[in-house]
A and B are shown apart, each in its own frame.
Chain A
Amino acid sequence: MTLPYGDVGLMMTQNDTPAAKAAAPSVRVVRSSIRSDSHRRAVRAALPAAPLLIFLLVFLVIPIGSIVHTAVSDGEIARALPLTTQALQAWDGDDVPLSAVYMTFGQELEAAGHAGSVRPLSRRVGYELSRGANIILGAQRILSEDFDRADPQAWKAQLIKADPAWGQSGVWSIFKHYNGRYSAFYLRWATGFPVKIEADGRLSQETSYDFRSIYLRTILISLVVTGLTILIGYPVAYVIANASGRTAAVLLFFILLPFWTSLLVRTMSWIVFLQTNGVLNATLAGTGLISEPLPLLYTRLATIIAMIQIQLPFTVLPMISVMRAIPTNQVKAARNLGAGPLRAHATIFLPQAVPGIAAGGLLTFVLCLGFYLTPALVGGPSDQMVSFFIARFTNEDLNWGLASALSVILILGAGLVALPLARHVARHSSDRI
C-alpha cells in the first residue's frame, strides 16, 4: 500500500473491469478528501496570519486604492452643474454658448450655493482657469441681485457684468469637458503638462510647479546618494566581511547604530553640526580657516550627506552577507597564478559581490525616492523631493487630487525600480526562511 495516489488513478483507467468501476466512486472520494485535506491544511497554516493580512488589506491596500481613486476622481463640476455640463455638450466650443445655457448655469449655481457646493466648484475651476475661483464666486455674488429671472438674456448680461470672463469661451470649455466623475486632469497636472488656461481659452503663462524638474531632482539626488553609499559602503562591507569575529562585531555595531537611533534625532544632529552658528562653523572659525560662517545647512550637500548616513546600513548589510559567501580560495588561486592583489580582487572577488551591491543599491535607491523628513529639515527650497510636495498639497493646499496623482507617479516609479529587487528577495527569501 505504498503506491502514490496518482498511480491508483492510473490503474483505474486501464483496468476497466466491473469491480474497478464499482470501486471508482470510493477512489474519487479518497482523492477529493485528500485535496480537501490539503486545502484545510493550507487554510490552517494561513489562519494565524489572517489578522495581520486583514489589517493590512484594510489599512494599507484599500488606502492605496483610495489614492488611485482620488487621483482620477474629478466630479466637482458635474456634481454642482449637472444640467449645464449636459447642455454644453451641444455647444461647438466657438464663441460662447446660447443664452439658455447661461440661465441653466445661473440657476444651478444658486442651487449649489444653497447646497454648499460652490466652494469645491470654485476651487476646482481655479486649478484650471486663471482667477477661476474669483470668477465663480463673483458670479454667485451678482446673481443675488435683482434682475429679470424669466429672461435668459438677462442672466447672460448679469453674469458678464460680474466678470467679462463669462463672455469668453475658457470657463465654458472647462464646464463642457468635465461632465463625468473621473478625469485624467490631476494626472496630467502631476506629469507636468500645462493645464492652466486664460478666460479666452489660451494656455496661461502663469508659472506653476515644474513637476518634471522635481521628478528629475528626486531621481538625481537618489542616484547620487546611492552611488556614494556604494562607494563608501563597499570598502566598509569588505573590511567587515573579512574581519575576525570581535572586530566585525564592533564595526557592525557602528554601521547598525543609525539603524536604531531615531531618524529625527540624527537629522537634528546634522542641523546642530552644520548650521551657521553650529559646531563645524565655530570650529573652522576658531582655527582661522574661515572668516565668515559657511552656508552649509539648507543646501543640497547637507541633504545628500545626511541621506548617505541614513542609507549606509541598507546598502552595506546585503553586501556583507553576499561577500561572506564568496570563497576565499578563488582569490588565493588567482594570486598563486600571478595576479596582483588589486587584479585578483577586481576579476575574482568584485564580480561575485555584484548581487550584493545590486540588492543594496536598489534598496537604497527606492528608499531615497520617498525621502521626506531629511530634505525637509536640512535641505533648501530647491532640494525638496516629490514626497515634500505630496505632504504640502495634502496638509497645506488641501489639494488631495494633485497629492494623490503625485503619489501614484511616485509609487509607479518606485515600483518599477523595486520589481527586480522584489524578485531578488523572493528568490533568496526561500533559502532563508
Chain B
Amino acid sequence: MNMGRRVYTEFPAYIRMPLYGFVGIALLLLMLPLAVALPISLNADPWFTYPFRALSLRWFAELFSSPLWTGAMVNSLVIAISTTVVATTLGTLAAIGLVNPRFPFRTAVMALAISPMIVPVVVLGLGLFIFFSPLGLNYSYAGVVIAHTILASPFVVITVTATLTRFDFNLMRAAAGLGAGRLTAFRTVMLPIIAPGVAAGAVFAFASSFDEVVMVLFIAGPEQRTLPKQMFTGLREQLDPTILAAATVMIVLTSCLMAIAYNVNKNR
C-alpha cells in the first residue's frame, strides 16, 4: 500500500537521485565558504590558505588585547543590549495590540511595523542622518540605538505575534473576572506564557544589532565604533586574521543565544 503511494506521488529514482544530488551540492556549496573561512582564525601564520603549519590562538589573543578591538566589542555589546531592551519592549507591546481583531487599520499598521525589513537600510540611514543632524543625535550612542531599534523591532513584532496566536485570551478574561487589573493580568498571566516568544524576539533583536554595520556607517562617530564597523574597515583596507577571530567570536556568541532561545521555545 505504502509502496504504491510512493510510486505515484514521488519522482522515480532516475529523477530523484539527481534532484537530491543537486540540492545536497547546492546547500553544501552555500555553506562551504563559512566552513572554510572561520577555522583560518586558528592558523598560526597570517595566511588565508590550508594546510596550516601550526594551530594557535594568537589572533584571538590579539583581538582581546588590542584596545581598538576591545573598545569596539564593548561598544557593540552596549549598543546591542540597549537596542534589545528598547526593541523588545516596544515590539512586544505592539504585537499584543496587533493580535487584537479590533485593532483599527491592522493590516496597514502591521505593514508599517514590518517595513524596516524591506526599505533599503541605506535609505533609512540617510533619512535618520538628515533628521538627526539638527537634533544633534548623529555621532551619539542614543542615535545608534534608535537606528538599530528601527531595524530590530520587526523581528520582535513577528516572533511575539506568532507566539500570541497560540495564546488563549480567555485566560485574560478569567484573570479579570478574578479581579486582576489589566497590568496585573499581563504581568502574572500573559507574560509568563509568552515569555519564550519574547525571548526569541529579544535574541533576534540582539543579533540584528550586534551584526549591523550600515546604520553605524551613517549615524555613528569614531566614539561609537562597533565590532562590525571595525571588521568592515578592515575588510575594505587590509584583510587581517584578527578579523576572522572577531567573526568567529561573533558567530559563537549569536549561535549560543539562538540555541538558548530555540531550546526555551522547544521545551514549552
Residue from the list B27, B33, B121 in contact with A255, Cβ < 8 A = B27
Q: Report if B91 contacts A (CB, 8 A).
A: yes
Contact B22 A407 (CB under 8 A): no
Contact A332 B239 (CB under 8 A): no
Distance of A258 Cα from B247 Cα, bound (Å): 14
Contacts of B90 in A (CB 8 A): 51-52, 55
Contacts of B250 in A (CB 8 A): 262, 265
Q: A67-B123, A269-B33, A390-B126 are in contact. Are A232 and B98 (CB under 8 A)?
A: no
Contacts of B204 in A (CB 8 A): 260
Contacts of A60 in B (CB 8 A): 112, 115-116, 119, 124, 127, 150
Q: Report if A70 contacts B (CB, 8 A).
A: yes
Most B C-beta atoms less than 10 A away, residue of A52, A60, A312, A425 = A52
Q: Report if B136 contacts A (CB, 8 A).
A: no
Q: Report if B77 contacts A (CB, 8 A).
A: no
Q: A52-B113, A269-B37, A387-B120 are in contact. Are A63 and B27 (CB under 8 A)?
A: no
Determine, out of B61-69, B171-179, B207-215, the stretch whose residues face the partner at the interface. Answer: B207-215
Contact A282 B30 (CB under 8 A): no
Would you give the shortest CB distance from A420 to chain B, in whole angstroms? 13
Q: Report if B258 contacts A (CB, 8 A).
A: yes
Contact B8 A407 (CB under 8 A): no
Residue from the list A269, A345, A425, A429 in contact with B36, Cβ < 8 A = A269
Contacts of B115 in A (CB 8 A): 60
Q: Which residue of A lies closest to B47 (CB)?
A: A277
Distance of A53 Cα from B103 Cα, bound (Å): 13
Q: Which residue of A lies closest to B89 (CB)?
A: A51
Contact A369 B49 (CB under 8 A): no
Contact B8 A418 (CB under 8 A): no
Q: Which residue of B lies closest to A377 (CB)?
A: B235
Q: Report if A432 contacts B (CB, 8 A).
A: yes
Q: Report if A162 contacts B (CB, 8 A).
A: no
In chain A, residues 269-287, which have Cβ atoms closer than 8 Å to a Cβ of chain B? 269-275, 277-279, 282-283
Q: Which residue of B lies closest to A237 (CB)?
A: B23
Would you give the shortest CB distance from A375 to chain B, in whole angstroms? 11
Q: A269-B33, A272-B244 are in contact. Are A55 and B8 (CB under 8 A)?
A: no
Contact B243 A268 (CB under 8 A): yes
Would you give the shortest CB distance from A377 to chain B, in whole angstroms? 6
Contact B130 A52 (CB under 8 A): no
Contact B27 A332 (CB under 8 A): no
Q: Report if B146 contacts A (CB, 8 A).
A: yes
Q: Report if A373 contacts B (CB, 8 A).
A: yes
16 further A-B contacts with Cβ under 8 Å, apart from A63-B127, A309-B30, A394-B126, are A52-B93, A59-B149, A60-B119, A242-B10, A261-B34, A262-B207, A263-B211, A270-B33, A277-B47, A308-B30, A387-B120, A387-B122, A407-B123, A411-B120, A411-B123, A422-B111
